[in-house]
Structure 1
Amino acid sequence: MSTQDVSILAVNNLGLNTKQAKHWQCWVKSRGFNPGTIDGHLGSNSWKATQRYFNHYGLNVGSRLVADGVVGNNTIKALQNFLGADIDGVAGPQTRSLFASWNNTDWCSV
């Protein structure tokens, strides 16, 4: 699988290490969207919470996201919108790098 492939996986951290993924889970939870267990593995519950967050704050690009936990093009577009990245729906190197950098802050201890 190339770094640009986005697929249905049990866990899809989009290049985040476990610590960074925990930071994301804590941040989403701190915003009132339950990602499930804070374990550093972005599974369907984490992505459902993220999708609900994106919908709630209007970060979805185009139509409303289905909160299904699947990391597809529309979820990537919303993530790119959130990160201020170029919006193309591809989880390429720029998106992964921005997502990783954003999650270097420990939201679990804030």
Structure 2
Amino acid sequence: MRPNVVTRTLVSLTAVAGIAAGSLAGASVSLAAPTPAAKTAASSQAAVPFAVNNLGLSTAQAKKHQVGLRDNWGYTGDIDGLLGTDSWKAMQHFLKKYWDYNDEIDGIVGSNTVKALQRWLKKYYRYTGDIDGIAGSGTKDAFKRYANSL
């Protein structure tokens, strides 16, 4: 009787060890060889974030603005209602020519871009706030008035 108990115990321990080893082996294989969906492409170019700043405009209003930028200021991007870097570069060209924008054409909506925008909005779209470079509610409301006039 005794040898039978020992044999069963050894068989059980061997089965447990085999299952554990198989699980570990499977885990190491899955970690070592990622699935095709988990692979990422390498690139030598730096990633540049696409900054969207609609300054309160809806997508429909921003699309109208992009059409004007395309027709008059060299915007070549999609008419998608997302005022990103290329939309703001075209806007900065407009602001530089007429509204004393004196900074780089970089597509970043910084305080100098907002100040020039505020000067334009004050003249034509009832912006009544200070020319302070802060895109607050007054600036956004005037920008919406402009977009709604298109």
TM-score class, shorter: 0.7 to 0.9
- The letter of the residue matching 2:141 is S
Runs (4+) of structure 1 exceeding 6 A deviation are none
Residue 108 of structure 2 corresponds to 70
Deviation at 1:14, TM superposition (A): 0.6
Matched, 1:95 2:139: yes
Aligned residues, how many?
96
Residue 45 of structure 1 corresponds to 86
Q: Distance in 2 between matches of 1:35 and 1:91?
A: 25
Higher helix share: 2
> Any stretches of 5+ residues in structure 2 without a counterpart?
1-48
**Normalized against structure 1, the TM-score is what?**
0.79
Q: Distance in 1 between matches of 2:136 and 2:50?
A: 17
> Any stretches of 5+ residues in structure 1 without a counterpart?
1-7
Give the structure with higher Rg (CA).
2
**Normalized against structure 2, the TM-score is what?**
0.59
What pairs with 1:1-110 in structure 2 (closer than 5 Å)?
10-57=51-98, 59-60=99-100, 64-84=102-122, 85=127, 86-106=130-150
Q: Root-mean-square deviation (CA), in Å? A: 1.7
